[in-house]
Structure 1
Amino acid sequence: MSTTAERVEMPPDLTVRRLTEEEYPAWYAAEVAAYVADIVRSGALTQEQAGARSDQDFVRYLPQGYHTPGHAFYVMEADGRAVGTGWVNHGFLPGVTFGFSLEVYEEQRGRGYGRAAMAVGQWATRQGGDRAMMFNVFGGNDVAMGLYDSTGFAVLDEYRSIAL
């Protein structure tokens, strides 16, 4: 059976390249803001608590920033302009690449870039020597959940809550 990466039809205008070190600070600031927003939107934490968690998590996962071993950052481009970014960590668990972030910019959605990025992630996973790829998705991110479901990712764990 072929994998999604082998079946996907890539948009003809899409290219993927490594994020440059010069682009990293702006990317990092956007990632922190998006992570905090995801946590708050999910209802897990308040804005202040989410900010504190974000600070802790980014220090934990990227202690050397752009140069943290095992991490790779990507930019997806179409017609010479960025349409999204991705961040993966090879060897997150033995044999597993973890996809920390996949962002297709809102104005670029619906053009197949997310699906293509999932295929690129699978390719990058194999190139990194891993045999499985994992993602986390916060509650309320129905677009991401739909993308993961449609590209063959299985739910491994799920938490739910109710405010009392």
Structure 2
Amino acid sequence: MATVSVRTMTRQEFDEWQDELAAEYAAEQIASGRWPAEGAVERARAENMALLPDGPATARMLTLRGVDADGEPVGRAWVGLDHPRGAPGIAFLYDIEVLEPKRRLGYGRALLDAVEDAAGRAGAAALELNVFGSNSGAIGLYSGAGYEVVTQQMRKSLHGR
């Protein structure tokens, strides 16, 4: 089994991650029909920076770089220790990602375990996350790690009726 530990991102790692994260988040929002394409990347960047005004040093936020046993990067994660809707004791996993060349090698579960440990050490009693319904790989990972559905949004297209 893969072994992963986490550490706080460096400023350079954080800046690179923010560029990629804004593009990915905007694309997910557009694909889900929640945002128009126009200005989506800028909107995503602004939302992220509102939550992370001091970068990797932002209080009550964990911006983590996952590394393997040799210290090589395998992924990254972002955890808010205060839930965005105020749920007491529940941290929120905003983002987790295994780097492309490390996927399908067991690093996803190992990174998730390391992130859970970091959140627990920081005082969280539980960790919550959102996942897009089309992301079957992530849904499988989270279900296999013991996550349960606590809320669910559903949508039906009314075009073509």
TM-score by length of structure 2 reads 0.84
Aligned AA (1:29): D
The corresponding residue for 2:97 is 103
SS at match of 1:75: strand
My pick for the range that moved more, 109-118 or 47-56, is: 47-56
How big is the alpha-carbon RMSD for the aligned residues of Structure 1 and Structure 2?
Answer: 1.9
TM-score by length of structure 1 reads 0.82
In structure 2, C-alpha distance between the alignment counterparts of 1:55 and 1:28, rounded to whole Å: 7
**1:124 counterpart (115, 118, 142):** 118
The corresponding residue for 1:6 is none
The corresponding residue for 2:133 is 139
Alpha-carbon spacing, 1:11–1:72, altered in 2? closer, same or farther (3 Å): same
Alpha-carbon spacing, 1:55–1:22, altered in 2? closer, same or farther (3 Å): closer
In structure 2, C-alpha distance between the alignment counterparts of 1:117 and 1:58, rounded to whole Å: 22
**1:160 counterpart (137, 148, 154):** 154
Q: Percent identity?
A: 32
| Unpaired stretches in structure 2, ≥5 consecutive residues | none
Pairing 1:51–2:41 present:
yes
Residues 97-126 of structure 1 deviation map (CA, whole Å, 9 limit, x = unaligned): 111110012331111111111211221121
| Unpaired stretches in structure 1, ≥5 consecutive residues | 1-9
Deviation at 1:80, TM superposition (A): 4.2
Residues 80-102 of structure 1 deviation map (CA, whole Å, 9 limit, x = unaligned): 43221111111223211111110
Pairing 1:25–2:25 present:
no
**1:150 counterpart (107, 128, 144):** 144
Moved over 4 A (4+): none
In structure 2, C-alpha distance between the alignment counterparts of 1:101 and 1:155, rounded to whole Å: 17
Pairing 1:68–2:62 present:
no
**2:72 counterpart (66, 81, 99):** 81
Aligned AA (2:111): A
Number of residue equivalences: 154
The corresponding residue for 2:29 is 39
